[in-house]
Amino acid sequence: MVVQNITLVDIVNLFIRRLKWLLIGLVVGALLLSTYTVLLVDDRYTSSVSLYVKNAEDPKDGIATINNLYAAQMLTNSYVIILQDPETLQKMAKRMTVSASVEDIYNALKIETTEDTAIITVSATTNDAILSQAICQALCDVAPEMLSDIVGAGAVHTLGEVPTAVKTGPNALKNGLLGGAFGLLLAAAVVFVVYLCDTTVKSKEEIQRMTDLPILGEIPSMK
């Protein structure tokens, strides 16, 4: 069949006729990716804590408070860089009760500033809940002395205690849905390609559409 003679109605009817194969592709894709996620992908655990940056100057009035907050916000950007410095990570590795290399700590850590605040959010994600919590705790222990020695201004305070790490991945349901969508698309592509490669004329309407000639006769099917 010539590609340009294919109409949208033909494609819709094709997918309706091959609905079984589309559903098989969807189910197989979902099962494969969800099974892979459950059996072969390691669990991920995240522990997170917030740090408050305080400027060294004690505000005396409203204007000073605004200036103080602005100065603390400026410090947070520098603090994030310092907290990810290899020297800081090395001190963290020595302080931790759980064994971890500097590279492991660097890959696990995520340090971000919260916009328009003096808050730094720290999170650690690994495949071990105890290790994730230990990395966060080590950073909270090391941060005040490191920042005081290097910057010499301001202070950082941990907002609450470092919580136990919680499981954050993998998401078998989400991956299963993605696998199902991929399987459905792959099955649809295969069905469509097979349809294009099939040059068999299946109806008199196809002959008329392909040749623009009238049908002179029709041989009845023998059943």
Least confident of 17-31, 67-81, 130-144: 67-81
> Going by C-beta distance under 8 Å and a sequence separation of 6 or more, which residues neighbour residue 43?
127, 167, 169, 170
Nearest to 24 by CA among 196, 194, 193, 190: 190
**Three-state SS at 54:** strand
Please give the model's pTM, rounded to 2 decimal places.
0.69
Q: What average pLDDT does range 85-94 have in this prediction?
A: 93
- Please report the domains of the chain, with CATH numbers, ordered by start residue: 3-40+171-209 (no CATH), 44-169 (3.30.1890)
Strand intervals (E) in the chain = 44-54, 109-113, 119-126, 155-159, 166-169
Given this model, what pLDDT does residue 2 score?
A: 44
What are the tens digits of pLDDT across the range 100-134?
A: 999 999 999 999 988 878 889 999 999 999 999 99
What are the tens digits of pLDDT across the range 186-207?
A: 999 999 999 888 777 666 666 6
Residue bearing the bigger pLDDT, 146 or 199: 146
pLDDT at 152 over 90: no
Mean of pLDDT over the chain? 84
Residue bearing the bigger pLDDT, 26 or 75: 26
Q: What average pLDDT does range 41-61 have in this prediction?
A: 79
**Three-state SS at 162:** coil
Cis peptide before 59 (omega within 30 of 0): no
Given this model, what pLDDT does residue 209 score?
A: 66
Given this model, what pLDDT does residue 3 score?
A: 45
Q: What average pLDDT does range 21-30 have in this prediction?
A: 95
